Amino acid sequence: MTTSHTAFVFPGQGSQKVGMLAAAHAEFSAVRDTFAEAGEALGADLWALVQAGPQESLNLTATTQPVLLTASVALWRAWQAAGGAAPALLAGHSLGEFSALVCAGSLGFADAVRLVRQRGEFMQTAVPVGEGAMAAIIGLDDDSINRICADIAAEGAGEVAAVNFNSPGQVVIAGHTAAVERAGIALKAAGAKRALPLPVSAPFHTVLMRPAGDKLASALAAVPITAPAIPVVHNVHALPESDPERIRGLLVEQIYSPVQWTQCIQYMAANGIRQVVECGPGKVLSGLNKRINGELSSYSLEDPTSLQDALAVLATV
């Protein structure tokens, strides 16, 4: 059964924290089995890391990515095992796009776990620590942010650009550290309410990530990808794709291209979606989605109670 007005979305980096899946989730065989499968693929006990930390280890990009993917897929499988209906569309924010493709049947789970660990390593080593930065810009329109970043880059301070269009009034910029700092000052002078530096160690989704993209392309070449059983709306252009080679190319392009999250949610709403379920730790995307389109109803699966609540509500729509 498919719920024609429901979409599932999968979070990316930033949603990780110790205890991000309640210990009670271990009662679900789907969750236990998914973490066991991931542990076998990586040779690491990810469930113990999720439950006990330390946080510093969870925050390492090469660890964060497989942990978040595993948690998201585990919740998806718990939803399925409980009789939850298949959604009409899927999407994931950055790393979450890999989770979406696994849940759509396009990418094998064990392959994806190994792949995103490599992706994290590639992204971390593409730019030396300290040379790249990211900052959240709050309360300024997209056009002004794009224009001011382009002006700063043209002045020779280094690369800086808008990289995450998360919702109207919330955009993340990234690039060389000095350029990001200069852009933050200029954007606040132009009317931004805040320019908040983010605690990350690399300028994700910028052209500086192209070396990581090249390495990811080689890794992806060895991984089977099939047409998704459920359409996945991609970050790069906010459209679904069915061609496996096109999907492969978009996963590479995504690593050095902006995340068009606002457009992804707008596409969903324009194509009949009325309910969006956040399938993964936290509720970051639910907050963004409400700002993008206040008419969308949001649900999460981050704990057993919310999973049961979503099952009860979505069984009737």
Q: Catalytic: which of 5, 205, 257, 300?
A: 205
Tokens of 221: 């070449």
Give the Cα separation of 283 and 300 in Å (integer).
7
> Biggest alpha carbon distance in the chain?
57
9, burial (CB in 10 Å: exposed 0-12, middle 13-18, buried 19+): buried
Tokens of 107: 């990418």
Q: What are φ and ψ of residue 182, in 5° steps?
A: -65, -40
> Is residue 128 a contact partner of residue 186, using CB atoms and an 8 Å limit?
no
pLDDT digits (tens, 9 = 90+) for 155-198: 998 999 999 999 999 999 999 999 999 999 999 999 999 999 98
pLDDT value for 1: 47
Number of residues that this document lists for the chain: 317
Q: How many CB atoms lie within 10 A of CB 130?
A: 8
pLDDT value for 2: 54
Could you give the 3-state DSSP secondary structure of residue 17? coil
Nearest partner of 264 among 91, 72, 12, judged by Cα: 91
Nearest partner of 110 among 34, 11, 222, judged by Cα: 34
pLDDT value for 48: 87
pLDDT value for 3: 62
pLDDT digits (tens, 9 = 90+) for 47-95: 888 888 888 878 778 888 999 999 999 999 999 999 999 999 999 999 9
Strand partners, 172: 136, 164
Residues in the chain, pLDDT under 70? 1-3, 15, 22, 24, 316-317
- Is 205 among the catalytic positions? yes
Tokens of 171: 């955009």
pLDDT value for 317: 54
> Is residue 70 a contact partner of residue 51, using CB atoms and an 8 Å limit?
no
pTM of the model: 0.95
- For CA atoms 133, 134, 140, 145, the dihedral sign is positive
